[in-house]
Amino acid sequence: MVVRLARLAPPLECVRLYDLEAGLDGFIAIHSTALGPGAGGCRLWSYPDMKQALGDAVRLAEGMSYKNALAGLPLGGAKAVLRKPEGEFDRVALFRAFGRAVENLGGLYVTAEDVGTSVEDMQEVASVSRHVAGLPAVAGRAGGDPSPWTAKGVFESMQVAAEFALARDLAGLTVAVQGTGNVGADLCRRLAEAGARLVIADVNPARRDRLRAVHGAEVVDVSEIASVDADIFAPCALGGALDRETVGKLKARLVCGAANNQLATPDVAALLMERGIAYAPDYVVNAGGIINVSAEYLGEDEEDVKFRVAEIAPRVGALLERAAREGRSPALVADEMAEEVIAGAQREAA
Ligand code: NAD
């Protein structure tokens, strides 16, 4: 069975970023501004060519439209993707040049951290543009690294999804975590505290080995993490973790993780269903980070963030129940719900 996930129109705008001197080379893709400024992080990665960087920017921007809509945020979807310069490079110059490009868009795009970028990088952006979040928190206000909020939302979603799919709490379950970076590491900490057993993999040995020492996690090779004997698979690295081959090898009965765009192709959602593997849609469970970013940009306080992040897990539970009731993929149901929100805003604006 092949399920086609409905898709919105192509990106509203795609901006090419190029400043040879500063080492800036990439794109800002703005997919939708129906609900508010296009918001989504800035990724710095070693893309082999421009085509792959552009493809990633467009897919990630689209994902942000859906994520922001379903999280109830007054934000559209966008993303910046920068090619990491080879060898040594001047980070300050690069992120100031990026910041100037963000400022030139006059608030159409709001940036923050993503894979490969840090709070320090966003501070450089903030020196030239006000359309940035993920800056150090000011007392009483929302702000700072969004990763712990993302991890909290993923962890709580996993609790609800495990109850739904496995009729168990997390104590004693084995969770295979792919990618132990900012979000993955915090998720591991929460899982260890909840009594889960951890199996982890990361392409960066230093990142995974510190977790082995702290939580007694079992370390496996990155090529094995998806097929280890585990109850839950948590993709927390890059996108495309679930392709047909990987899903064919999964032993876990539930997939719930932080990575964006986990399904390599839309038909993988149907394959998961066929194999009886529950799937907590990526952009629903990982909304904690953008909730924090949004609150910071809008000048809200931490209580607003807590309130909205606490809504993620019940939303995931309701989504899984509705999908099961209707015999459809949770990914498809989530997309439809997000599209309804965006279409409603478009109707109101017309
Ligand atoms: P990060 O860069 O801190 O961590 C990613 C980790 O994955 C790194 O340690 C990297 O070495 C590792 N990795 C890369 N390829 C791998 C592979 N093939 N196998 C195993 N490990 C691999 O990034 P992060 O902020 O922790 O984000 C993780 C994922 O969650 C990303 O997909 C990101 O888009 C998504 N996400 C993050 C946030 C956030 O608040 N940081 C919010 C929403 C979604």
Q: Tens-of-pLDDT digits for all 350 residues of the chain?
A: 223 334 445 567 899 999 999 999 999 999 999 999 999 999 999 999 999 999 999 989 998 999 999 999 999 999 999 999 999 999 999 999 999 999 999 999 999 988 899 999 999 999 999 999 999 988 878 888 889 999 999 999 999 999 999 999 999 999 999 999 999 999 999 999 999 999 999 999 998 888 888 888 999 999 999 999 999 999 999 889 999 999 999 999 999 999 988 999 999 999 999 999 999 999 999 999 999 999 999 999 999 999 999 999 999 999 999 999 999 999 999 999 999 999 888 888 87
**In Å, how far from its chain's centre is CA 152?**
13
The CB of 184 under 6 Å from ligand 1? The reply is: yes
Same fold, 2-65+75-126 and 147-286+314-339: yes
Which atom belonging to ligand 1 lies closest to the Cα atom of 60?
A: 34
User: Was 180 annotated as part of a binding site?
Assistant: yes
Let me know: does 217 contact 199? Beta carbons within 8 Å. yes
The CATH code that applies to domain 147-286+314-339 is: 3.40.50.720
Residue whose CA is closest, atom 41 of ligand 1? 147
Which atom belonging to ligand 1 lies closest to the Cα atom of 185?
A: 26
User: Was 316 annotated as part of a binding site?
Assistant: no
Let me know: does 198 contact 218? Beta carbons within 8 Å. yes
The CB of 202 under 6 Å from ligand 1? The reply is: yes
Which atom belonging to ligand 1 lies closest to the Cα atom of 147?
A: 40
Per-residue 3-state assignment (H helix, E strand, C coil) for 67-103: HHHHCCCCCEEEEEEEECCCCCCCHHHHHHHHHHHHH
Q: Collapsing DSSP states into helix, strand and coil, what is residue 12?
A: coil
The CB of 204 under 6 Å from ligand 1? The reply is: yes
Residue whose CA is closest, atom 4 of ligand 1? 181
Q: Collapsing DSSP states into helix, strand and coil, what is residue 261?
A: coil
How many residues appear in the chain? 350
- Strands 76-83 and 109-110, by their bridges, are unpaired
Q: Long-range contacts of range 135-144, CB-CB < 8 Å, 24 or more positions apart?
A: 135/296, 137/296, 137/302, 140/301, 140/302, 141/296, 141/299, 141/300, 141/301, 141/302, 142/292, 142/295, 142/296, 142/300, 142/301, 142/302, 142/304, 142/305, 143/292, 143/296, 144/119, 144/292, 144/296
The CB of 181 under 6 Å from ligand 1? The reply is: yes
Give the bridge partners for 132, in sequence order. 111
User: Was 179 annotated as part of a binding site?
Assistant: yes
Catalytic residue ranges:
79
Q: What CA–CA distance (Å, rounded) separates 159 from 231?
A: 12
User: Was 182 annotated as part of a binding site?
Assistant: yes
The CB of 236 under 6 Å from ligand 1? The reply is: yes
Which atom belonging to ligand 1 lies closest to the Cα atom of 151?
A: 40
The CB of 179 under 6 Å from ligand 1? The reply is: yes
pLDDT of residue 183: 95
Q: Collapsing DSSP states into helix, strand and coil, what is residue 57?
A: helix
Going from N- to C-terminal start, the domains of the chain cover 2-65+75-126, 147-286+314-339
pLDDT of residue 7: 44
CA atoms within 13 A on the CB side of 241: 31
User: In the CATH hierarchy, which fold is given to the domain comprising 2-65+75-126?
Assistant: Rossmann fold (3.40.50)
Let me know: does 137 contact 295? Beta carbons within 8 Å. no
Q: What CA–CA distance (Å, rounded) separates 306 from 152?
A: 10
Q: What CA–CA distance (Å, rounded) separates 35 from 113?
A: 21
User: Was 184 annotated as part of a binding site?
Assistant: yes
The CB of 238 under 6 Å from ligand 1? The reply is: yes
Select from 46, 56, 190, 203 the residue to mutate for testing ligand 1; criterion: most ligand atoms less than 8 Å from CB: 203
